[in-house]
Copies of this chain bind each other. A is one copy, B any other.
Amino acid sequence: MSTPRTDRTIALLETLEKGAAAKVQANLNSMAPDLFDTLLGFGLVDVLDRPGIDLRTREMLTVAALTAMGTAPEQLEFHIRAALNTGVTREEIVEILLQIAVYAGVPACINGVAAARKAFEAHGI
């Protein structure tokens, strides 16, 4: 059953990457029927969709946080692609990764470079 909240979650996810919503929804809802709504309704509708910071800057912040944490390489790769899709440039991504070397160490940055390489290739840049 579709609700306005689910629809908005899907629309936001499609803004981050065209084609992502169906895959993420299938992945999560195969675990529990409402997992997509509970997790991504919170993350996307309740938080990322708020005014105050534009989506482009929010994706930069997410790339910074996930690079620093170092525990979610696939989500980092997704959010580098999402950052590119919302207008962040290749050069800005590299600057973020380098900046994180200062705060979380050189290995975190080099892991970020590996994720960025795949994301840049997917974008043909």
Which residue of chain B is the closest to A116 with respect to CB atoms?
B31
- List chain B residues, Cβ under 8 A from A62: 64, 99, 103
Q: CB distance B39 to A98 under 8 Å?
A: yes
Q: Known contacts A38-B47, A65-B103; is A111 also within 8 Å of B72 by CB?
A: yes
Check: A21 CB closer than 8 A to any chain B CB: no
Interface residues of A in 94-115 (CB under 8 A from B): 94-111, 113
> A-B pairs with the 4 shortest C-beta distances?
A70-B71, A72-B107, A65-B68, A61-B64
Interface residues in chain A, defined as those with a beta carbon under 8 Å from any beta carbon in chain B: 27-28, 30-32, 35, 38-40, 42-43, 46-48, 50, 52-53, 57-58, 60-62, 64-72, 75, 91-92, 94-111, 113, 116-117
